Structure 1
Amino acid sequence: MSTAPALRVLTVSHSRARLAGHLARLGVERGGVLMVHASLRAVGAVDGGARAVAGALRDALGPQGTLVVPSFTPENSDTSPHYRSRVRGLGDRDREAVRAAMPAFDPATTAAPSMGRLSETVRLSPGSLRSVHPQTSFAAVGPLAGRVVADHLPDCHLGEDSPLARLHELRAQVLLLGCGFDSCSAFHLAEYRVPSPPRRTYRCVVRNGGERRWWEYEDVALDDSDFAALGADFERSARSPAVSDGVVGSAESRLFRFPEAVRFATRWLPAHRRLPAESFLRP
């Protein structure tokens, strides 16, 4: 009885230089400002891992370019979907124990595990700077990093007093590296720019005068549940291709200009969000 030979599965491993070449062909601008959302799993095996991916991004940008990533921290809030998922099914005592164990946000040391390996790699890079919002901080490295992360007010997640507005001013590019438009934080700036956006209350743990305390504040009700549909319409928009697409490593990726995305979203949201304001205030 004969047996068929076993099939060999070849795994392609990408180099930093190869990734930088892919990024350049996609259209990453040398000397520009680039905000990245990434799935390194989609990129595939890379010699040097997340550090090599971050290095390739900086190589494509060149020495005068600035790399920006979200370093959000929903882990220290009891009004976040992350918290609701964590305590689902728990009793009052166990839920309170989770709240009591939440560490206060420290921009110098607090990790952002839910943002992925690339974001953490950039946050920990030499010379990296981070904005100080206790929930929606951004990390940046490069000549314009200070301008991007400066003056992020603690009661403004992603609006005019956040790095998103600075990225808009700088006409930054946005790279979705192996992920979809549902991850596109640029669209959140448009939520602040529509007429009378709904608002809600947020809570998180901060450190004040060396003491840990809960802080409650009001801000625009953020809702990314329709960003995939918004992004699909943006990609199909009638203007000359607003979105470049291509493969970086093994990852299907998209590149576009920040102001164009926000402009489109600011028109799209009022036309497509027909829900009453209270639907945005889900606990």
Structure 2
Amino acid sequence: MAVRTGGSQDPGRDGPQRGATGRDGQVATGWVTPVAGEHRAPARRPRFAIVDVYDTILRLDALRSRFVDVGRPEHECDLFLARAARDGYALALSGTPGPFGEAGLQALRSTTHHLLSDEALHHVMDGFLSLPPHQDAELALARLASARIPTYALACGSGADAVAALDRAGLRTYLRGTLSTDDLGVVCPDPRAFTMACDALRAERERTVLISVHPGDVHGALRAGLLGGLAIRQSGGVPTTMDPPHVSAPRMDDVVEQLLALPG
């Protein structure tokens, strides 16, 4: 498995099963959800950290100005990002995954009603290479580095693009390397993405934390047996439909401080 340096597939917890057979031999109807916490990692100080890139470290809202540049309303940026994620997940779930960037490009075409030239489309997509960091991201990454926690970035899409963006933001110096869903061949929040990432890093899952602003990604990591740190600056809280993270806080650096305070 390729890990872009900076400076055995395991599906983890089983997902919901349809038509499970009960003790009486009858086929049950409805979804049978595994018991929350069945394979939950104990709350201990992590030895490795994996940090989501887009919207956790780098600000996706900066893409809005690119929409204005090409004559489109900036609110289309949010719709584009939602459609790109939806289509990427749909392709993965249907067994036809591909480069996430291609799904994003097609989502951009449909969001802008197929009115943009190729040059305009690529102007928007090139914005992913120059996203500014969130204010709390460097503080969090620097704190992990000072605590001697090997930290890796995990990007949805191209690893090369993520490396370029992190370089431009001046943050890759804090990272041991970068992983990407394109390289893994599995889209987050599929638990396999996190087990494969840990395998690539030779990191023990229950001592590896995923830090993200996306509750779904943290939920997938928890189901894979990792620790979970959720920065709620975007979601405002922890969804009750998902497994609770080991720690949560509004700011990414506060999440890191809580993780480092866990018992060793």
TM-score, length-normalised on structure 1? 0.28
TM-score, length-normalised on structure 2? 0.30
Greater relative contact order (Cα < 8 A, sep 6+) = 2
